[in-house]
């Protein structure tokens, strides 16, 4: 049995968030929390928050032991892209893309 948590529509590039997700994929949940606490990336606190929520869901909803949990699946999906215009010379315009990400963390008991 597994428990999961989702964090959706975060102002964060999915490509950059996947770098942090790859570090903790498959690790024990408490070890992953410790790693994320000391990772100096924008995505680290967001993934940490989602992982804490998944651990709480597993403990409260399914009665799992938090010490035996591990990250069985973590995925960073692409969300919608906010598009903004930036004026340039001679009446032209550049498009600034502001990507959004969806973070999903699933934990299981060993």
What does the pLDDT read at residue 1?
86
pTM: 0.91
**Confidence band of 3 (pLDDT split at 50, 70, 90):** very high
Determine the pLDDT at residue 100.
97
Mean of pLDDT values over 20-27 = 96
Pick one of 3.10.580.10, 3.40.50.150, 3.90.470.10, 3.40.50.620 as the CATH number of 2-109: 3.90.470.10
| Contacts (Cβ under 8 Å, ≥6 apart) of 37 | 44, 48
Q: With H, G, I as helix, E, B as strand and everything else as coil, classify residue 108.
A: strand
- The residues, ordered by sequence, that sit 6+ positions from 8 with a Cβ below 8 Å of its Cβ are 79, 102, 103
φ and ψ at residue 107, rounded to 5 degrees: -120, 150
Distance CA 39, CA 96 (A): 28
Q: Where are the domains of the chain?
A: 2-109
- Using CA of residue 29, residue 33, residue 34, residue 40, what is the dihedral sign? positive
pLDDT tens string 55-102: 999 999 999 999 999 999 999 999 999 999 999 999 999 999 999 999
Residue 48 confidence (pLDDT) above 90: yes
Backbone φ, ψ for residue 103 (5° rounding): -110, 130
């Amino acid at each position: 049995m597994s428990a999961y948590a989702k964090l959706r529509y975060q102002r964060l590039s999915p490509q950059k968030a996947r770098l942090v997700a790859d570090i903790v994929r498959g690790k024990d949940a408490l070890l992953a929390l410790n790693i994320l606490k000391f990772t100096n990336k924008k995505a680290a606190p967001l993934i940490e928050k989602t992982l804490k929520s998944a651990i709480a869901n597993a403990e409260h909803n399914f009665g799992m032991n938090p010490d035996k949990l591990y990250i069985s699946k973590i995925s960073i999906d692409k969300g919608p892209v906010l598009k903004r215009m930036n004026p340039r010379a001679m009446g032209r315009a550049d498009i600034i893309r502001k990507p959004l990400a969806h973070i999903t963390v699933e934990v299981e008991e060993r």
